[in-house]
Chains A and B, each alone.
Chain A
Amino acid sequence: MTSEQTTLAGEVIRFAGFLKGRGFRVFQSSVHDALRSLEEISLEEKGDFFHSLRTNLTATDLEWVQFENLFDQFWGRAGRDQEAAAEDRRQDPKTGPPPSVTEDQFLPDAPADASTLTDSDDNRQWLEGIAYSPVSMVRKKDLGRFNQGDIPMAELALRQMMAPFKIQPSRRTKRGRSAGNLDFPAIIRKCLKTGGTPFEIFYKEKKKRLKRLVILADVSGSMDRYARFVMPFLLGLRGIGSRAEVFVFSTSLTRVTFLIRHLSVEKALARIADEVPDWSGGTRIGYSLHQFNQKYGDFLLSRRTAVVLLSDGWDLGGKDLLMREMAFLSRKAHAVIWLNPLAGDPAYEPLCRGMKTALPYVDYFLPADSLQSLKRVIRLLSRVMGH
């Protein structure tokens, strides 16, 4: 290997570290493959260099989107501009051939530490004091203080947390007692002992499915500062399969499962805000629960349903109604989990009337004020949702 190549390899490794520091999941094997890829492509083509690194060092759509920017920051803009120009030329045959490219343009034209990244206020906020890892920083940040720029990072972090979290319905089968699908392997096994006569017939049946998850999120005025985070959290739950249902409520209830499944965070937020007439208005938890129980209770609530309520408990509605609906919910569902963004404060006491009324019917009461605390929520959920 020439010294130039060595430098390039070193820089690629450093770039992988740079990405890791920004929340990317870069594996050792991916770095190795990235270096192997560079041996396969012609380094003359800046575009190929970019594409090879991107395909090896990203693994999700979010990383894919952020990669371009981070690549530019680390390697300097020259490489990408060259590629764009070349792409233009390909589309317009009138311009001349691409100028020759020298290898040193690949090397970073500026030191790649965090200080070079503060080209805008946005970036500064992003990375304030977190040259090491923005994700770990985001985890500690109070969710109420999240700004829009944090959402992609929060989403990235949430997805990482969700990775080991399985709420997929099981389709594995077990030995069953009632007539159903024949269990041929078992029949055959028995049959061989009796010279091929199947004296005993075995059936298999599906193992029990995992529980259904229903999320009811408060998007009223008092929750407003959390709402921007509540949504990415709900969207982070996208991976939990077809048995999750998501509703938002303030003065009334809206089902948003469809939007959450189909749109990106920002768009889902906009559409939900659009479709929920009183987004950021007052809260009537009792009435919203009443609507839920009436309309969806029959087919969504069962002993296999876990209900998660995300709210600070500020309620403008009547106490009796709330009590009645909470009682109904806790009677019908397997577990009611209440996540309260205020409860993270050690001095917090459930003083507001709504919270006080609802608390006796809640199986688990947990804070949801930072990604760290949400991690606990996820642990609890995976326990509750399991078999």
Chain B
Amino acid sequence: MKLVTAVLKPHMLEPVKEALEAFGVRGLTISEVSGHGRQRGHTEVYRGAEYTVDFLPKVRLEVLVDAPEADDVVAAIVSAARTGKIGDGKVWVMPVDAVVRIRTGERDVEAL
């Protein structure tokens, strides 16, 4: 099993969610986060004073998938979240040792 984590522009959450549902992914977790990539943040101007805002609002999406599906899930996320502009975000994949569904005690692929 794999954990696919994506950091996205907040307004791209909806198309990514639809793409994942179309793919057959049943569960996902999202959280509001802030951060920046290589391009850093942006500058705000108030009465001549310029402030650099380093941490921009983002959405982090996490989804557990069976290992053979991971590449296709990543591709679906990348395709749905891409605007081509700076700040589109990143997706990464990590191995997962065990998954348990708390309600039933099912393990691993059955628990997805």
Q: Are both chains from one complex? A: no
What residues of chain B have their CB less than 8 Å away from a CB belonging to chain A?
none
